[in-house]
Structure 1
Amino acid sequence: MNKALVLGASGATGRLLVKLLLNKGVQVIALVRKEGSLANIIDSNGRLDIVEAEISTMQDQELAQLLAGCTSVFSCLGHNVSFKGIYGHPRRLVTDAVAKVARAMELVQSDHPIKMVLMNTTGNSNRDIPEKPPFSQRLVVALLRLILPPHVDNEQAADFLRVQVGQDHHKLEWVAVRPDGLIDEEQVSDYEIHTSPIRNPIFDAGQTSRINVANFMSELSLDTDLWNTWKGQMPVIYNRTQV
């Protein structure tokens, strides 16, 4: 049976991801700050294990125990949209979590690398290609780096995977999924995946429903061909009707 650890499981996208994984028969370990935050998720088959903990304060060995036996790990972590969430600590929430997963995997006995799927953003360019956004976008992004710590965190988290983990890590494979403007929808709809943004995320953003992001992330972990297509890359996802 596929087994997954979901970081940020109580967030807007994380909750949807947990539900989709359970519906697809995956055994899920959901890491949340408060156990009651997933109280309304139906788990009729006993495949959901809710762990109340702060990823930022967990020891590597504790995380390794959760990762043992997992085939995939998802990060839907993000900063709360509040003054404290944006400018308070930990400012490197996502980056530190990704680095902690990489360290913890070194402690896990496994014959196969684990698949890590990171939820990122189209405001972050893939410097492996490299992408060349228009000057107007680069200017705004440079400003965001100065005034919005969460944007820097998103960039550094993806950079850790690109540079520190790379393409040939013996314990960890990865994909960083980049949605455009996030919206809420109840059902999975048609969506498209691109290697790079086809719209300007600052001045001409498209839309991506959170449930489509969650569905793509779940499919990456379950579909070997899809994983091999995007492994080590930063695919961009749009709702098809918006392209």
Structure 2
Amino acid sequence: MKTLVVGASGATGKLLVEQLLGAGQTVKVIVRSTSNIPDVWESNDNITVIKDDNITNIKVNEMAEHLKDCESVASCLGHNLSLKGIYGKPRQLVTDTVKVLCEAILKNASEMPTKFVLMNTAGNSNRDLNEPVSFGQKIVIGLLRLFLPPHPDNEKAADYLRVKIGQENPFIEWVAVRPDGLIDVEMVTDYSVNASPTRSALFDPGKTSRINVANFMSQLTIHDTIWNRWKGKMPVVYNKILV
């Protein structure tokens, strides 16, 4: 199986690539020419490195070519935690990329549906389930939508899959993975996967190690039983042991 990974140079994206390679998969990555990626990627026959300094400028036809031999797509894209990354352009980095990827998949119209795994956030509700949100959290989320562009970007990206692609698309199946407070840990540990948050992402956040997110995303692409359990859903991942 071959997976195209966007956001592969980020903290979680690199770990996802390593998890896929460790499982014997082949990978394509789209990264900036200035991205800091492991040297071994350039010489590994199981990785194809595509360099593009602005992924949002990639047109549908070009993306369709990148995806022609891929059975799955994973997005670990996010905004850099800097003033430019948060408030500069492109403000809809994740959403715009999700749209182009989906349009490219639809253009290719493969006989088998392509798996699309989106890294999202536990701070984004799954409106399909009418998840309970406290009044206080609704107020804070409303402020985040107004003043923190990455949050509505994450919401719109998941909503594009949830509403526009939906549950019955013959060419795209999707899962939006929602980690809670991200932390760095060297090894995969026990983690739980839940249909909805079991705690408030704002007022009582849990912890999720990036490597556990990467492991779950890789397992989704590799194992059909896990995929079939979560496709069309927005599972929330927590570390079982707080580290």
Counterpart CA distance in 2 for 1:156 and 1:42 is 32
TM-score between the two structures when normalised by the length of structure 2: 0.96
The sequence identity of aligned pairs, in percent, is 54
Matched residue of 1:106: which SS? helix
Counterpart of 2:17, as a letter, is V
Aligned to 1:79: 79
Counterpart CA distance in 1 for 2:107 and 2:121 is 30
Matched residue of 2:57: which SS? coil
Query: Is 1:49 the equivalent of 2:41?
Result: no
Query: Is 1:27 the equivalent of 2:26?
Result: yes
Q: Are residues 133 and 111 of structure 1, via their aligned partners in 2, closer, same or farther at CA, if it must alter by over 3 Å?
A: same
Unaligned runs of 5+ residues in structure 1 are: none
Q: Which moved more, 1:28-37 or 1:111-120?
A: 28-37
Counterpart of 2:72, as a letter, is S
Q: Which moved more, 1:129-138 or 1:7-16?
A: 129-138
| Cα displacement string for residues 69-104 of structure 1 (whole angstroms, at most 9, x for unaligned residues) | 211100000001111110111001000111111111
Matched residue of 2:241: which SS? helix
Q: Could you tell me how far 1:40 is from its partner in structure 2? A: 3.4
TM-score between the two structures when normalised by the length of structure 1: 0.96
Counterpart CA distance in 1 for 2:133 and 2:173 is 27
Aligned to 2:144: 144
Counterpart of 1:202, as a letter, is L
Aligned 8 A contact 2:123 2:201 in 1? yes
Q: Are residues 52 and 159 of structure 1, via their aligned partners in 2, closer, same or farther at CA, if it must alter by over 3 Å?
A: same
Map 1:1-243 to 2 at 5 A.
2-34=1-33, 37-41=36-40, 46-53=45-52, 54-242=54-242
Unaligned runs of 5+ residues in structure 2 are: none
Aligned 8 A contact 1:13 1:211 in 2? yes
Aligned 8 A contact 1:158 1:176 in 2? yes
Matched residue of 2:237: which SS? strand
Aligned 8 A contact 2:99 2:160 in 1? yes
Q: Which moved more, 1:51-60 or 1:229-238?
A: 51-60
Q: Are residues 85 and 51 of structure 1, via their aligned partners in 2, closer, same or farther at CA, if it must alter by over 3 Å?
A: same
Matched residue of 2:188: which SS? coil
Counterpart CA distance in 1 for 2:109 and 2:173 is 16
Aligned 8 A contact 2:109 2:171 in 1? no
RMSD: 1.5
